[in-house]
Amino acid sequence: MMRTPRQIEIDRCLLLALASIPEEYVHRDATLRADICRCVDPVPTTAEIDAAIRHADTRRRITGILTEDGFKWKIADAGRAWLAENP
């Protein structure tokens, strides 16, 4: 299925947020969502962010870790490759 330009913009912001932190760290879910909201205009809805996270997770561009504090995320090699191919 083709992604819309807005979906691609949200995807890019999601991956850029995760790529901006050192590899050994993970991003809290709430922090990731806040970073996406700061990057995309107009601010994406919760549903749009949920869909972007699902899309990236399904394609193994990100890795989710369920902790006692909730989900934490980190970028995967496929996510770094996607960013390199979609500047």
Give the pLDDT confidence of 12-64 residue by residue, as tens digits.
999 999 999 998 899 999 999 999 999 999 999 999 999 999 999 999 999 99
Q: Tell whether the model's pLDDT for residue 87 goes beyond 90.
A: no
Taking the C-alpha atoms of residue 44 and residue 31, their distance in angstroms, rounded to an integer, is 15
Domain of residue 13: give its range. Answer: 5-85
What is the structure's pLDDT at 19?
Answer: 97
CATH of the domain at 77: 1.10.10.10
What is the structure's pLDDT at 24?
Answer: 87
Q: Are 77 and 36 contacting, i.e. CB atoms less than 8 angstroms apart?
A: no
Three-state SS for 65? Answer: strand
What is the pTM assigned to this prediction? 0.94
Number of folded domains that form the chain: 1
Q: Tell whether the model's pLDDT for residue 1 goes beyond 80.
A: no
